[in-house]
Amino acid sequence: MMDLSFVLNGNAVACSCTPGRRLLDLLREEFALTGAKPGCEIGRCGACMVWLDDEPVNACLVMAWQLEGRRVTTIEALAAAPSSEPVRDALSRCGAVQCGYCSAGMVMTLTHLHLREPRPDAREAASLACGNLCRCTGYGGLKRTIDVLFGVAQEATVGRSASRR
Ligand code: FES
Ligand code: FES
C-alpha cells in the first residue's frame, strides 16, 4: 500500500491504495466520480478520458504511483466550466449524444483541443477525436460537431485552397 496525495478537480485529496490501482478505479470507487466510464479498459476508446496536468489521458492506463503531486481534472469539474460550453453546446445541437456513454470523454478531448488549437486546418480537424469511439456509431453527429466548433478555420482553409487553384 502507498499513501497518495494529488489535486483532484482543484482540491487536494489523499488516499491509501496499491501502487498499481488504476486512476479510473480510484475516481469511481474512492471519490465517487463516475463520469469517466470503463469501456475497452485498454486505452482504445476514450470513454475514461480525464486530464492529467491539463493533458488528456485515458484513466484506465494511469496507475496510482504516477499520480503523486499531479493535477487530475474530470468531467464533473469540466462540465461546469465555461471553457467546455462551446463543446457541450455543439455536441447537443449536432445530435452527437445518443446513449451518452462516450460523451464525457468526447467533451474532455474536444475541450482540450478547442482551448489549444481553436482553428485547426481541415486535415487536422478531420482527425480530431480519433481516440474517442462511439459505440452508438454517432460519427455523423460528431463530424457535424467538429465542423461547427472548428468551422471558421476550415472555411478559411477551403478558401485558401480554392484561391491557389
Ligand atoms: S476505457 Fe479507457 S480507453 Fe477505453
Ligand atoms: S452516444 Fe452512445 S456510445 Fe457514443
The ligand placed nearest to the CA atom of residue 46 is 1
The ligand placed nearest to the CA atom of residue 106 is 2
- Pocket of ligand 1 contains residue 48 by CB under 6 Å: yes
Q: Which of 44, 74, 104 is the last residue of a domain?
A: 74
Report the CATH number that the domain containing residue 119 is assigned in CATH: 1.10.150.120
- Under the banding of pLDDT at 50, 70 and 90, the label for residue 22 is very high
- Name the least confident of 13-17, 80-84, 147-151: 147-151
pLDDT, averaged across the chain:
90
The boundaries of the domain holding residue 132 are 82-164
Q: Are residues 154 and 132 in the same domain?
A: yes
- Pocket of ligand 1 contains residue 47 by CB under 6 Å: yes
| Ligand 2 nearest-atom number relative to CA 134 | 4
Distance CA 140, CA 150 (A): 15
Provide the residue type at 84 as one letter: S
Cell of 91: 455536441
Which residues pair with residue 52 across a beta bridge? 55, 72
Output the CA angle 87-91-93, nearest 5 degrees.
115
Q: Are residues 86 and 70 in the same domain?
A: no
Q: Give the distance, in angstroms, between the CA of residue 54 and the centroid of all CA atoms in the same chain.
A: 10
| Ligand 2 nearest-atom number relative to CA 96 | 1
CA 86 to ligand 2 center in whole angstroms:
19
pLDDT at 122: 66
Q: Are residues 92 and 151 in the same domain?
A: yes
Residue 116 burial (CB < 10 Å; 0-12/13-18/19+)?
exposed
CA 25 to ligand 1 center in whole angstroms:
12
Q: Write phi, then psi, for 2 (nearest 5 degrees).
A: -135, 150
> Model's pTM, two decimal places?
0.89
pLDDT tens digit string along 97-147?
999 999 999 999 999 999 998 888 766 776 778 889 999 998 999 999 998
CB 95 within 8 A of CB 145: no
Cell of 10: 482543484
CA 44 to ligand 2 center in whole angstroms:
15
Distance CA 73, CA 107 (A): 12
